[in-house]
Each structure stands twice: as structure tokens, then as C-alpha cells.
């Protein structure tokens, strides 16, 4: 009898086999699990060798065994004989011991399997390990004791290893196991994670078998992508394992319990990330208390700190944890209490959104409307700047800011009641620590406390000199990696926040006053489900691992969190995007504005217009989500460009060209030219034709090249804006109005040319000014015209009306 079983059902498995006398277990990925994605990832942590050398030696040893007629089962001693052909026996033994020690550091016992073993022993069953491995029985049992503890090893009565029998489970080894056990096959239950080895290879001898189904197919793909991303975001470090994914065991246990895709997203992404963050925060709080004395108060900054606080409550609630409502808006506003503070803020924000800047300066609504309504963005910004520098407005801003500061301090006192000498640990997702930058001095002076900022992701734009650290920060990653994560932090913020409006002020007693929340109820409901999934992960994670050694925990959880975040940010799964496709992001700077988290149609159009180069400058909220469906190569290009800050240009991205014949004409002359159209994306090309200051008309001679083609867009742009402008700035485009000469629009974008003389005529827009313009034509060849000899009659064909117009 064979069955597949999920890990969370292991505790009831023995009840289905009341006559069983022996529990037989596979070892790796059934009893012993690793912190890493794959077994070979451990080899990165071995001294004085590379993963390639270690893997090659194993392959060579297996081939040598087969050549000797022994099959491909080998011992670790044979592997190291290939790896170190000139090494002494003592050198090889030291290297073998180092490998087993590395395995012990990164292996642990899977708690559900241990509980099953304990239940079997309580019923009087024999417990044996049957493993396909190059380790001997003594080496494997020693590894189990080193990694999981002597108590776990003591539950095992016998160990059978393939290298000592010369056969794998799939190769019939279980027959030898039965001879040694001297137990009837129907009295044995064998469990393992490999269907071919542990089910097909064992059941044929009459043994009951159960396939331990670790992960679903989608989970296997997601974990594989996380391991792939690890190879990009983490440079190989000597003596450190690669692809640490310490959340694998908990996911295998909890993921089958997900009620819907939203919960699954919370389990698989937020669960591992915030679990690692919470572990790190506890260590930081302990270090602060030891170094400074006094009480350390955990201040979770709402709204983004909402989910981290819920995670903290699950892992160990205490009286020192508080939810405080300090937004970027109130923090900035409370800091503008001097002429210098106002001037610094203006210089920092000038050129951004004028309305946001005015609100941060605490201008009244009527003044903001008078300054900004009806003006171009640049002019509105200058108007706000002029107003902010007047003496009367400065005094009003300082007066309002001081009132905001007093009310903010009252909010802290009401919520926390700290004593002098205490530490306020501000907990936030990050990423610049703006709140701490603006209120650190205020809280120190008013309350006599120390302020310590602790963020999930920290990427400071300047060296503030404040007590500020991040779980993921410049201590661990270079600037480009941090920028790559921060570029898409909006998706993390929206999943961790709570469904209330952002605080915009406080009552005199410190009670928060919130701005109305315009986020849709459906988004709030979905977010609640995502967060519930995250909390379910925490509940299971705490008891899934049985291990002795935890020295690498912090590093493994940090690296795992970065791999999970990077994978979600740059290689999201379709079902994950389905959960958040309707999400909106609130700007949260004193305004009620919201914007879509992502829009797939935007990337579709922008890639065709500008190719992969457009991604370099795009400031989309969640650009990789928009690229889903555009191919893995496109998404990996974005990840690697952001991760390493690669200095690619438009020409670097365009590796194919088409020479498109055009005629550029004004009232005086018509000049034929070849324009080099550059490849963009999905088979499209961009032809950029200069037209001066609305001076030249352009005839695009598609008939000379194609029988059939598609036109994606025809637009005019200022030359100096086209490549410097962000692709989302469509208001800078001017639509062209083409005239077809011999070209038939068959349907949609598809065009047909009857002859090689057919072309599209485009006149420049009627506009004043001296700015030089260009015509951007995005097209895709469909059927290329075959070359034909030029006939006399064709050459003498009368000019069409449009051709006459060109030469007029």
C-alpha cells in the first residue's frame, strides 16, 4: 500500500497501519533537512576547495565505480581520493571531517518526523534509517547526533546506507535490508521524499510505503527561483554555504493549510521575511539594553509597522511593545521649527510635487489652491518656493510646526510613558529612516531618551550619524543591491500596513487625527488574508526545527529574506500578482492621493517603444510586476541591471537594426535618407526621424521593404526629452496624423503594401517654439518584400498626389 502524505499529517500516519512493527525512514529531506536549497550548496562552505571541484570529484568517483562493475554507489572516502589524488590519508580524513562538520552546522531534524519516531517508539516499534548516501552508517548516525542531538539519534535502532551495500533503494537494496531486519515486509512502513527510490524502489518487496510530499509543484518552482535569485544577489563568500533558505521546513508544514492564494502569499513571502526580522530585533533590543541600561521600548511605527508588531506579539508579547502613529508627514512637519530647517527642507524637496511640498510646509488649503491650481508643475513649484521664503509665511510655518512637535511628543508620552535614560527603539520597514531623522533630536531634548532606529531595510541617502541599523543594510550589501530592493518597496509596504488612514495631526493630548483612508475595502480584505497567512507561518516555524547548532541563524535568515524579497520583487509568480493586481498605493505625504501599484499594459507599450533601455529610468511603483508575461530574459535583465548598476545605453540594448528609407522634405527640397531603426522588444523597431522645429514632413517608405507590417505608434517628441524623459510621462508626446499612400490598414495595427513605392506621409505638428522635434515610429515587420528588378514602366509611373505634395 502506497500513499502521498503532507508533513502536517505525519502525526496520524501510524494509526493507519496498526499491524506495523517497524518504522523505516529515509534520512535526507525526511528526517534530516538542510538550511540550503540543494545538497551541493553546502559545498560552498568547505575550506580549500570549490563547489565545482567537490561535485566533479563525486562524478568521477561514480564513473570509476561503474567502470569497475560496482554500480555507481560510492563512499565519501572514494570521493576524496578523486578530489585529493596526491593527498595523504590524514589530509583526506581531515577534509572529510570538515565536510561532515559543515553538514552538521547546516542540517537539522524535521520536527514532525521526530515526533513520528517518538510515537513509534512509544508503541514499541523498531525505527530504522535506510538512506541512499556516500556516508557510512556510523558517519550518518554521527551526523544525526551532531546536527539534531543525541536524543534524536537514540531513537534509531539501525542504519542502512547504500554505499555499504553497493545498491540504491531504486536498485533493489531494500531486499538486503529485509534480510538484516528479519521482519515480514507487510510489518514495515517506509517513508521518504523521493517517489522513485522510497516508493517504487521499496513497495515492490511488499513493504508499506508513504511518499512524503514536501512541496507542491508551484512551491518547488518558487523555491527554485529564490535559489536562482540568491546566485545574483549574493556573491559567493568563501567558507559560507550558498542559497540558504531556512524557511523551507516551515513552508512545507504550513503551506498546505493556506485557505486561498492571499494567505499563501503571506506564508511564503512575508512569513520568512518578518520571521528573520523579528529574530534580529530581539537581538538588537538585548544589545541596546546591555549597552545603555534603562528600559528598551519597542515603538512600532504605524502604519507600515502594523504587521511586524503582530509578528512580535506571536513570538513573545511584553509590556514594552507599543504602536505609535508617526507618519513621514507629521515627523517632517514637526521638524520645521526654524528658518534653517525650512530652508533645508525646501532645498531638499524643490522640484518635486508642489502641492506635497506646500502641505509639508503647513500651508493652509486655500493658499495651496491659489499657488498651484492651473499652473504647470515647474511654475507651481516656484510659486510655493516664493511664498515659503516670505517672512510672514515662515513665521506661520514655524508656529504651526512647533505646535505639531508638542502634540507629537504628547502622543509618545501618552502611548509609552518613557523614563529618562530609556531607549525608544523605532521599528519600521524602512528604508531611509526619515521619521527618525526628523524627530530624533526632538525626543532626546523633550523626553531625555535615547532614540534607536531599527529597520527591516535601511538605505540612507546621507550619513545621518544617528543610532540607526537595518536587518538588511549597508553592513551586509552594497549600494546597488539596496537600491534594487528599495525600488519596489511599495509592494512590501502595502502588504504590511493596516486599514486606517495615515496620521496627519494630533489632538492636544496626543490622540492621533487620521486622514480619510480611500483604499478600497476589497484591498483591505485581501491584505488581511495575506497578513493572516504571515502569522500562520510564525505559529508553525517556531516548532519545526530540531537542531543543536544555531550559530548561522541570523546570517541564514537575512540571506533567505533577501532572496525571498528579491524573488517577489523581480520574479513574482502569476498567482501572487493575481492577489494584488487591484491594489492601490497611498502617497502618504499629507495628501489623499492613490496610485495603482502596477499596470501591465504600461510596460507592454513602453518596451515596444524604447526596448529594455526604458527600464533604466522608469520610476514605476512595481515595475517587475508590469513585466510579468514579457519573458524571463526581460525580467532578469531588469534584476541584473538594478542589482549591479550596469551602465547600459539605448544602443547597447538594440542589437539589430533595419535601414528604413525615408524622404525628409520642406517647401524647398526633398531629401531621401536611410534611417537606422533600432530593435526594441517583441520584434518591434524604433525609427527616430528629426523634423527640426516643426519644419520637415516625413515620408516613411515601408513599401520598399515590406509587404506586410504593423505600426505600434507614431508620435512626435522634443529631441532633448525623448531619451531623458521617464516612459510614464506620456503627456510629453504629440500624436502624429499620418496619411497613407498605397498602404492599406487591414485591421488594428496591421498594414499591407501593394508596391514598393507605397509610403506613409507624416506632417509635423503645428506649434510655435524653437525646440527641435523628432518623429518616433515604432513598427514591426511581418512579411519582408522580395527583391524585384525595377521595370521601365514602374519607373515611369506618374507621381501620386501625395508625392507631388512632398516635392511642392
Q: Render pLDDT for 651-668 as a digit per residue (tens, 0 to 9).
A: 777 778 999 999 999 888
How far is Cα 489 from Cα 468, in angstroms, rounded to an integer?
19
Burial class (CB in 10 A: 0-12, 13-18, 19+), 374: exposed
Mean per-residue pLDDT for 328-348? 89
Which strand (E) or helix (H) includes residue 367?
helix 365-372
- Among 5-9, 91-95, 147-151, the range scoring the smallest mean pLDDT is 5-9
Angle, helices 553-570 vs 271-292, to 10°: value is 140
Burial class (CB in 10 A: 0-12, 13-18, 19+), 783: exposed
Asked if 413 and 444 count as a contact pair (C-beta separation under 8 A), the reply is no
Give the residue from 214, 212, 211 showing the smallest Cα distance to 250. Answer: 214
- pLDDT for the residue numbered 804: 43
Q: Do the two domains 2-215 and 654-806 of this chain adopt the same fold?
A: no
Local structure of 630: helix, strand or coil:
coil
Residue 594 has pLDDT above 50, yes or no: yes
CATH number of 654-806: 2.60.40
Mean per-residue pLDDT for 186-203? 95
The DSSP bridge pattern shows strands 126-131 and 738-741 to be unpaired
Local structure of 194: helix, strand or coil:
coil
For the chain, domain boundaries: 2-215, 598-652, 654-806
Reported for 150-157, long-range contacts at CB under 8 A and 24+ positions apart, including other chains, are 152/31, 152/109, 152/114, 152/117, 152/546, 155/114, 155/117, 155/118, 155/121, 155/127, 156/117, 156/127, 156/128, 156/129, 157/126, 157/127, 157/128
Q: How many CB atoms lie within 10 A of CB 729?
A: 11
- pLDDT for the residue numbered 2: 64
CA-based R_g, the chain, Å: 33
2-215 is classed CATH 3.40.1190.10: no
751-773 confidence digits (pLDDT tens): 999 999 999 999 988 876 778 89
Local structure of 110: helix, strand or coil:
strand
Residue 197 has pLDDT above 90, yes or no: yes
pLDDT band at 593 (very low <50, low <70, confident <90, very high): low
Strand pairing partners for 752?
A: 708, 744
Give the residue from 570, 642, 562 showing the smallest Cα distance to 234. Answer: 562
Give the residue from 547, 541, 543 showing the smallest Cα distance to 109. Answer: 547
pLDDT band at 586 (very low <50, low <70, confident <90, very high): low
- pLDDT for the residue numbered 357: 85
Q: How many CB atoms lie within 10 A of CB 763?
A: 17
Mean per-residue pLDDT for 22-40? 95
Angle, helices 632-644 vs 217-233, to 10°: value is 30
Q: How many residues does the chain have?
A: 808
273-313 confidence digits (pLDDT tens): 999 999 999 999 999 999 998 999 999 999 899 999 999 99
- pLDDT for the residue numbered 342: 87
Amino acid at each position: 500500500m502506497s500513499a502521498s502524505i503532507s508533513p502536517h499529517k505525519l502525526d496520524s500516519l501510524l494509526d493507519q497501519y496498526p499491524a506495523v512493527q517497524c518504522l523505516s525512514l529515509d534520512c535526507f529531506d525526511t528526517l534530516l533537512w538542510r538550511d540550503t536549497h540543494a545538497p551541493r550548496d553546502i559545498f560552498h562552505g568547505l575550506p580549500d576547495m570549490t563547489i565545482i571541484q567537490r561535485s566533479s570529484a563525486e562524478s568521477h568517483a561514480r564513473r570509476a565505480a561503474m567502470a569497475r562493475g560496482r554500480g555507481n554507489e560510492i563512499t565519501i572516502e572514494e570521493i576524496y581520493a578523486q578530489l585529493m589524488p596526491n593527498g595523504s590519508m590524514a589530509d583526506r580524513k581531515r577534509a572529510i571531517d570538515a565536510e561532515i562538520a559543515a553538514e552538521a552546522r547546516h542540517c537539522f531534524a524535521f520536527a514532525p518526523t521526530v515526533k513520528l519516531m517518538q510515537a513509534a517508539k512509544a508503541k514499541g516499534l523498531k525505527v530504522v534509517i535506510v538512506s541512499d548516501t556516500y556516508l557510512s552508517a556510523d558517519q550518518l548516525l554521527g551526523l544525526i547526533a551532531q546536527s539534531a542531538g543525541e536524543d534524536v539519534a537514540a531513537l534509531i535502532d539501525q542504519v542502512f546506507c547504500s554505499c555499504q551495500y553497493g545498491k540504491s533503494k531504486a536498485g533493489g537494496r531494500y531486499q538486503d535490508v529485509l534480510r538484516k531486519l528479519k521482519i515480514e515486509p507487510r510489518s514495515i512502513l517506509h517513508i521518504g521524499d523521493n517517489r522513485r527510490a522510497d516508493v517504487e524502489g521499496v513497495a515492490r518487496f511488499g513493504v508499506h510505503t508513504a511518499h512524503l510530499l514536501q512541496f507542491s509543484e508551484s512551491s518547488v518552482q518558487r523555491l527554485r527561483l529564490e535559489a536562482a535569485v540568491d546566485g545574483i544577489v549574493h556573491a559567493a563568500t568563501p567558507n559560507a554555504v550558498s542559497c540558504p533558505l531556512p524557511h523551507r521546513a516551515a513552508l512545507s508544514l504550513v503551506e498546505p493549510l493556506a485557505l486561498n492564494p492571499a494567505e499563501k502569499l503571506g506564508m511564503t513571502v512575508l512569513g520568512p521575511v518578518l520571521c528573520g526580522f523579528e529574530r534580529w530585533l530581539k537581538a538588537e533590543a538585548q544589545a541596546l539594553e546591555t549597552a545603555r541600561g534603562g528600559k528598551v521600548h519597542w515603538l512600532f511605527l504605524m502604519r507600515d509597522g502594523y504587521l511586524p508588531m503582530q509578528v512580535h506579539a506571536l513570538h513573545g508579547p511584553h509590556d514594552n511593545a507599543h504602536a505609535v502613529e508617526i507618519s513621514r508627514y507629521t515627523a517632517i512637519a514637526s521638524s520645521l521649527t526654524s528658518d534653517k530647517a525650512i530652508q533645508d527642507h525646501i532645498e531638499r524637496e524643490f522640484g518635486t510635487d508642489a502641492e506635497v511640498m506646500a502641505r509639508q510646509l503647513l500651508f493652509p488649503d486655500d493658499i495651496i489652491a491659489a499657488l498651484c491650481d492651473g499652473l504647470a508643475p515647474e511654475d507651481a513649484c516656484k510659486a510655493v518656493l516664493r511664498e515659503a521664503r516670505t517672512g510672514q509665511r515662515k513665521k506661520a510655518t514655524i508656529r504651526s510646526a512647533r505646535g505639531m512637535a508638542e502634540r507629537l511628543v504628547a502622543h509618545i508620552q501618552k502611548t509609552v510613558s518613557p523614563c529618562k535614560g530609556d531607549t525608544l527603539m523605532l521599528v519600521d520597514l524602512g528604508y531611509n529612516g526619515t521619521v527618525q531623522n526628523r524627530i530624533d533630536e526632538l525626543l532626546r531634548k523633550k523626553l531625555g531618551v535615547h532614540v534607536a532606529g531599527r529597520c527591516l531595510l535601511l538605505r540612507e541617502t546621507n550619513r545621518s550619524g544617528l543610532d540607526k541599523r537595518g536587518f538588511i543594510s549597508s553592513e551586509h550589501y552594497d549600494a546597488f543591491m539596496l537600491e534594487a530592493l528599495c525600488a519596489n518597496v511599495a509592494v512590501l509596504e502595502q502588504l504590511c500596513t493596516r486599514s486606517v488612514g495615515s496620521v496627519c495631526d494630533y489632538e492636544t493630548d496626543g490622540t492621533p487625527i487620521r486622514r480619510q483612508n480611500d483604499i478600497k475595502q476589497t484591498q483591505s480584505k485581501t491584505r488581511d488574508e495575506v497578513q493572516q497567512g504571515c502569522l500562520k507561518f510564525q505559529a508553525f516555524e517556531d516548532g519545526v526545527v530540531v537542531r543543536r547548532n544555531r550559530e548561522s541563524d541570523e546570517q541564514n535568515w537575512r540571506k533567505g529574506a533577501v532572496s525571498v524579497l528579491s524573488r517577489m520583487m523581480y520574479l513574482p509568480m502569476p498567482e501572487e500578482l493575481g492577489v494584488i493586481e487591484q491594489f492601490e498605493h497611498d502617497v502618504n505625504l499629507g495628501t489623499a492621493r492613490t496610485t495603482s501599484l502596477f499596470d501591465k499594459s504600461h510596460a507592454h507599450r513602453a518596451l515596444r517603444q524604447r526596448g529594455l533601455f526604458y527600464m533604466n529610468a522608469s520610476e514605476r511603483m512595481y515595475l517587475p510586476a508590469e513585466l510579468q508575461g514579457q519573458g524571463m530574459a526581460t525580467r532578469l535583465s531588469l534584476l541584473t541591471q538594478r542589482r549591479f548598476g550596469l551602465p547600459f545605453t539605448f544602443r547597447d540594448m538594440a542589437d539589430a537594426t533595419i535601414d528604413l528609407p525615408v524622404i525628409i522634405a520642406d517647401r524647398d527640397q526633398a531629401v531621401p535618407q536611410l534611417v537606422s531603426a533600432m530593435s526594441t522588444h517583441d520584434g518591434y523597431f524604433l525609427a527616430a526621424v528629426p523634423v527640426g522645429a516643426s519644419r520637415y514632413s516625413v515620408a516613411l517608405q515601408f513599401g520598399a521593404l515590406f509587404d506586410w507590417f504593423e505600426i505600434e505608434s507614431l508620435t512626435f517628441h522634443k529631441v532633448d526629452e525623448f531619451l531623458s524623459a521617464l516612459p510614464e510621462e506620456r503627456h510629453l508626446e504629440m500624436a502624429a496624423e499620418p496619411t497613407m499612400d498605397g498602404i492599406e490598414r487591414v485591421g488594428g495595427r496591421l498594414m499591407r503594401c501593394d508596391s514598393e513605392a507605397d509610403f506613409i506621409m507624416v506632417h509635423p505638428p503645428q506649434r510655435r517654439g524653437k525646440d527641435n522635434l523628432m518623429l518616433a515610429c515604432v513598427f514591426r515587420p511581418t512579411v519582408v518584400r522580395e527583391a524585384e528588378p525595377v521595370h521601365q514602366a514602374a519607373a515611369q509611373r506618374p507621381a501620386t498626389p501625395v508625392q507631388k505634395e512632398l516635392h511642392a
